[in-house]
Amino acid sequence: MMKLSWVWIVIAIAYLQLVTGFLDFNETELSLIEAYDYGVSKLNYYPLMVGLTLITSAGAKGAVCLDGTLPGYHWHRGYGSGANSWLIQLEGGGWCNNVRTCVYRKKTRRGSSTYMEKQIPFTGILSDKAEQNPDFFNWNRVKLRYCDGASFTGDTENKAAKLQFRGQRIWLAAMEDLMSKGMRNAKQALLSGCSAGGLASILHCDEFRNMFPRTSKVKCLSDAGLFLDAVDVSGGRTLRSLYNGVVGLQCFFPQNLISNIRTPLFILNAAYDSWQIQSSIAPPSADPHGYWHECRLNHAKCSASQMRFLQGFRIEMLNAIKGFSQSRENGLFINSCFAHCQTERQDTWFAANSPEIRNKAIAIAVGDWYFDRAGVKVIDCPYPCDKSCHNLVFK
């Protein structure tokens, strides 16, 4: 069943990228949510800076970014007890959904290694400091850069627009390269990702597991990757309309995939996901008169009726994970925050005042689950009960 779903996912995304006229996501607001600056928490003035490594062997395999440049990653080598443990973090950054937006994207760091930062800070789950990242600080930690526009999937091209959609090849080339650099000896491995990278960590989870011996402990973590096929404020379905007419579309939504994943998977999501509020639940296209404008930027300005609508979204999310949560091997952390991507930000991953559920921070919850110290399936009470949230507000 999972193999069949994967085939339809690749077909759907490849087709999606070649068709023009689909709804455009507001990438400006998405970039604010996943902004580079969010990774550099004020709690860490001097984060570890890790250089970009281009995958030189990728070119011969056709594993290239949208513009044909080589893909890359940032790797900080593990040591001590973590020398044979690997954490792969898949970068997020939305999607391009037609030729026009993909052509634009290939002139940015999301579509070309030419524009990628030569160094990036490793914070949160990537931090090298035990006091900031207690369970993974000395692992081999890798951030795989995202430059294909389709969550590391797809394998096609648009010659007329000079676009390469080679996400699946990039994924495989990166894994092969890292295997040659020691990952094949991993005793422990964790595939994680944020947003579009969180979706990718779900899509590639079982594939990642199969790259290692059965004696290796391998699990997956999806941060802010639970994109729902939800009703928007106009009564339509914005995300579904994006893929209208695509064969096998139902397989794309994570809620239809997570119960089929055989590898232990941890779902970390804000119940009021900021990206989904802005781009799926209340996008301008579904709110032409701007009734939701203030609310979608700042939850404190939502009316009582708007908040009821958002509470309904939370309930839909909880219903979507009911089957998934039945597995003893899976983990869950759904906090009632207006946030998006909480693993790479130091202030939300692990700090003195980081978000908690039942006095447990995200980093501790993930570590307890990964190392089997405790079962972790925690769901927050509805907003506004959680005072530990680091809610995002936009201007």
User: Which of these, 387, 290, 377, 299, lies nearest to 340 by C-alpha position?
Assistant: 299
Name the H helices within 267-328.
274-276, 293-297, 304-320
Please state whether beta strands 356-357 and 331-335 pair in parallel, antiparallel, or not at all (unpaired).
Answer: unpaired
User: Which of these, 113, 132, 116, lies nearest to 40 by C-alpha position?
Assistant: 132
**Could you say which of 273, 279, 280, 299 is catalytic?**
273
Is 340 considered catalytic here?
yes
Residue 124 is given by DSSP the state: G
Residues in the chain: 395
User: Which of these, 384, 374, 344, 376, lies nearest to 40 by C-alpha position?
Assistant: 344
3-state secondary structure of 86: strand
Name the H helices within 150-266.
167-180, 196-203, 205-209, 238-242
**Could you say which of 41, 85, 151, 195 is catalytic?**
195
Residue 301 is given by DSSP the state: G
**Could you say which of 206, 340, 347, 380 is catalytic?**
340
Name the H helices within the chain.
2-18, 27-33, 36-39, 99-105, 167-180, 196-203, 205-209, 238-242, 274-276, 293-297, 304-320, 346-349, 362-370
d(CA 174, CA 337) in angstroms, rounded, equals 34
- Do residues 282 and 295 lie in contact, with contact meaning Cβ atoms separated by under 8 Å? yes
Is 135 considered catalytic here?
no
22: its two tokens: 């689909």
Question: What values do phi and psi take at 104, rounded to 5?
Answer: -65, -45
d(CA 210, CA 208) in angstroms, rounded, equals 5
Identify each DSSP E strand in 136-272 by its residue range: 140-144, 156-158, 163-165, 188-194, 217-223, 265-270
- Do residues 279 and 230 lie in contact, with contact meaning Cβ atoms separated by under 8 Å? no
Active site residues: 195, 273, 340
